[in-house]
Amino acid sequence: MRSVLIVIDEVCLVIVRDEIRVLIVIDKVCLVIVRDEICVLIVIDEVCLVIVRDEICVSIVIDEVCLVILRDEICVLIVIDEVCLVIVRDEICVLIVIDEVCLVIVRYDICVLIVIDEVCLVTVRDEICVLIVIDEVCL
Between CA 127 and CA 113 the distance in angstroms is: 12
CA pair distance 11, 17, nearest whole angstrom: 19
Domain boundaries, the chain: 1-80, 83-139
129 backbone dihedrals φ, ψ, rounded to 5°: -115, 145
User: Does the pLDDT at position 136 exceed 50?
Assistant: no
pLDDT at residue 39 above 50? Answer: yes
Spatial distance between the Cα atoms of 2 and 14, rounded to a whole number of angstroms: 11
d(CA 22, CA 55): 20
pLDDT in tens, 57-106: 555 554 555 555 444 454 555 554 555 555 554 454 555 554 455 544 44
